[in-house]
Structure 1
Amino acid sequence: MRLLFLAAALLAPLPALAQAKSSDKLPPANPLPYQDGDAAAVLAPINAFFGAVERGDAAEMLRQVQATGRLSALGDTQNPRYLSWAEFAERVRPDNIFQERITNPAIEVDGNIAMVWAPYVVRVAGKVSNCGIDHFDLVREDGAWKILNLTFSTRTTGCPAQ
C-alpha cells in the first residue's frame, strides 16, 4: 500500500508538467517595433551587410561580421548549407548581386549579445527569387555590433509580392 501511495505522489505532478508550454519558460518578447535605444545600433551592421552584398562589396561585408561566425541556409527541400564568412565573401561579387530586405524585425538585446529575427525577401533583377526568415546573432565587441551568425530558412513559393 505504501508503494502505491508513493507512486501516486510521484506521478501526480506529471499532468501539470506536460501542459506547461516551452514558451512559459521564456521571458516575454519585446513588442514590435522594438523601441530600445540599442535597436538602431543592432540593425546598423545588418543594413550595412545587405548594402555591401547588394553592391558586390565583399570587403565591406566582411567588416560587418565577426570572423569566427558563419552563415547557415536551411530550405524545405535541400540539405543545410554552412559557409564561413570567408567562403560566403567569395560569392559576393559585382557580377552576382541581389537585393535582400527584411521587414518587422524582432530584436532582443541583453548586454553584449543581440538577436534579430525577421522575414526577408530576395530580389534578383527586380524579381522575387526567394523568401524566408533571417535569424541574426550579434555580439558587441569594443562598443561595435558585429554579426556573428546568420541562419535563414529559404523557399521559392508563397513569398510576398511574388
Structure 2
Amino acid sequence: MKLPLLPALLLLAPAAMAQSAPAAAETEAVKQTVTRFFEGLRKGDSAMVRGTLAPAVVLHTISARGGQTQVLAESPKEFLQAVGTPHKEVWDERITFERVLLDGQLASVWTPYQFYLGNKFSHCGYNSFQLVKLAAGWRIVYVIDTRRKDGCK
C-alpha cells in the first residue's frame, strides 16, 4: 500500500532532522576552531593560534607581486612567532563564514575577510581552510588566502 505524499514526508521529517543535528554540531565546532584562530591573532596569543593548528599545518598565500601570480609558502613557526611578538597595532581579520562543507573527518571553510591594522584598513580577500578532526577536535591543516586592496566588500 502506498502512503500519500504528505503523510510520507511527515514520517520522514524527524529522521532527516535527526541526521542534520550532528552535521550542524560539527559545522559549529569547525566554525569555533576558525573563530578561535582569529581571536588568537587579534590578541597576539600564539599559544591560542597554535591550539587551532594540526601538527603538519601548511600556510600559503596567493600574491600578484609584479603582475605575476605567485603562491608563497609561510613557515608556521615564523607565523606563530610573528603573532606572539608584540606589535603596535592589533591584527584584526574580520571574517564571515560563506561556506562550510563537511565529509566525515574533513571540513572545508570559505571565508571572505577584511584585514585591519588597528582601525586602519589594510587589505581584503578570501581564506580557504581545510580542517581535519583529530582526537583533540577540529584542527586547521591547510590555509591558503588571497590578498588585495581593491574590490573589497
TM-score (norm 2): 0.76
SS at match of 2:32: helix
The separation in 2 between residues aligned to 1:76 and 1:48, in whole angstroms, is 29
* Counterpart residue number, 1:90: 81
For 1:123, which of 99, 113, 116 is the aligned residue? Answer: 116
Distance 1:112 1:143, change over 3 A: farther
- Picking from 116, 125, 130, the partner of 1:132 is 125
Partner in structure 2 of residue 62 of structure 1? 50
Q: How many residues align?
A: 126
Correspondences of 1:1-150 after superposition (within 5 Å): 36-77=24-65, 79-92=70-83, 93-95=85-87, 97-142=90-135, 144-150=137-143
- AA partner of residue 103 (structure 2): D
Superimposed CA distance per residue, residues 24-55 of structure 1 (whole angstroms, 9 cap, x where no aligned partner) = xxxxxxxxxxx823211001111111000111
Instruction: Give the conservation status (yes or no) of the 8 Å contact 1:73–1:80.
Output: yes
Unaligned runs of 5+ in 1: 1-34
SS in 2 for 1:37: helix
Contact 2:97 2:109 in 1 (8 A): no
CA distance in 2, matches of 1:77, 1:125: 25
AA partner of residue 76 (structure 1) = A
Distance in 2 separating the partners of 1:81 and 1:56: 23
Report the CA distance between 1:143 and its aligned residue.
5.3
Alpha-carbon contact 2:62-2:71 (below 8 Å) kept: yes
Distance, in Å, in 2 between the alignment partners of 1:74 and 1:136 is 14
* Bigger Rg, which one: 1
1:91 partner amino acid: A
Gaps of 5+ in 2: 1-22
How far does residue 84 in structure 1 lie from its aligned partner after superposition? Answer: 3.0
